Each structure stands twice: as C-alpha cells, then as structure tokens.
Amino acid sequence: DVEIDLKVKILGDSPVAKELLAETRTAEARCWKNTKVIYACSSADLERLVQLYGDTAALLFEVPNGVSLEDVPFTPPSERQALKEKMGLNAEKVALFMGSWHGPNLEAIEHIIRFAEKLPAVFFLILGSSCLAFNDRALPANIGMLGVVDDDTKSVVLSLADMALNPMTSGSGTNLKMLDYFAAGLPVLSTAFGARGLGGHPGRQLLLAEIENFPTAITQLFSMPNEELRQMISSAREVAVSKFDWAKIAETFYERISLKT
C-alpha cells in the first residue's frame, strides 16, 4: 500500500495529524530509497510511489493480493437459492458488502445507505468491523449490519447472498473482498476503482458502474438472465483460481525474485 495516501484519509488535517503524516512520509521515503526489493499489490501503487518519492534502485515487483480458495467455498446458483429458502430468505434480494473499519470502506457504506433508500426491495447486508462505526446511526430498514463474525458465519453469508457490492472510491492496493466474492460464486458490481489491479473484464467477470449509477446497475444485475449470470460467475471464479490463489502467487513471486537476485 501507499501508506501516506491511506493515512491522509484516516488522520485528516489536525496539527497532530500533520505531524504524524510528516513522519509517515519520511519513513516511507526512506524505505523507498534504501530497500533492495520492493513489492506492491498493484502496479498503480508502484507508479504512485515513484510519483511521490522519485526513482529507486530497488528491484520492483507487483505481487497481487490473493485468496485462500480452500477457505472460501464456491456455491453455484442452484445451491444458493436452496440455502436462501432454507434460511427463509427466498423472497429477499440480498446484496452483500464486506469491509473492515477503514476509511475507504466507511465511505462505501455511506454510499450503500443512499442506495438502500432508493431500493427498498433490496436487502443490503454488511459484514465486518466497518459496521461498528455505524452503531449510533439510524439506518434504513433494508440494511443489516452483522459486524465481525467467525469464518463459518462468513461462509454462510457468502453462500446465500444474491450479489456483492464494491462501491469503493478511494484507498490503496487492491480490494481483497473482490477475490472472496469471485471465489464464492457471487456476481459482482463494482466501481472501476474498486476493481483496479484485478484484470477483470466488464460484462464477463463483473459489472462496472460509476457510483451515482449503482442503484440502476443493481436493478440491472438482478434482472440479468440466469445463463448470463452463470457465465459471469464461472468466469470470475476462474480468474480467482488461475491468477489469485495464494499458492500460485507465492510460487510465481519466488520464481521471479530468484531470477533477479
């Protein structure tokens, strides 16, 4: 990640924040100039670091975020519908967002709150510590905040949602949640920014929309023909398996760094 960009979002511009940001920038610049090997999860981050701190003598590698496929069970559409019926959610259209308590994720939830007000027939389910930031907020009735859950509960939620959202408009690196969505078999709607570094093709592995067009795009995704959805889900899963399995990422990185050092 580009730490200075992340910390600016988190800390703001108070006097103490400015002091901490100056220390962050100094430390990151020192690492950039003096480290022998640098790797980032997206080429955009490496480009941003060059922009901030100039050239470096370090060897640069793009090492993407990944997913532990054995920990994210794939649920095909037929089983997903059966599970929804078992859970009494057959009549619900469930859109899922997952995220930790992190500035860009909180911004995404603010967007979801606005979507929920426009789409009362859709139930928006939010998972992760990001929910804690909204404990004192009055939320639309069609938003459910699950908060922090164990792995088994997370797997159940990934198995019964109808679609996944990634309305990200800021941040650094790539979004791990996208890989969980792909691996689990969820059709995904994301901003182009949220899909950065993943190499997905709009319309083939996911849908992309500008943030202001998300309500229309959510309705569009829910009305897609079943076969088109199945093809999108299958193609996204293949991307997760072929490019973002942690074991393959580690093997590729090891081979590349062995050739360079």
Mind listing the pLDDT tens digit of every residue in the chain (261 residues)? Answer: 899 988 887 787 889 999 999 999 999 999 999 999 999 988 889 999 999 999 999 999 999 889 989 889 899 888 888 888 887 777 789 999 999 998 889 999 999 999 999 999 999 999 999 999 999 999 999 999 999 999 999 999 999 999 999 999 987 777 889 999 999 999 999 999 988 878 767 778 999 999 999 999 999 999 999 899 999 999 999 999 998 999 889 998 999 888 876
- 141-163: pLDDT as tens digits: 999 999 999 999 999 999 999 99
Nearest to 197 by CA among 43, 48, 2: 43
Phi, psi at residue 184, to the nearest 5°? -80, -15
pLDDT value for 83: 86
Token pair listed for 247: 């074991």
Q: What is the 3-state secondary structure (H, E, C) of 182-240?
A: HHHCCCEEECCCCCCCCCCCECCCEEECCHHHHHHHHHHHHCCCHHHHHHHHHHHHHHH
pLDDT value for 171: 76
pLDDT value for 197: 78
Asked whether 65 and 94 are in contact (CB, 8 A), the reply is: no
The Cβ of residue 187 has, within 10 Å, a number of other Cβ atoms equal to 23
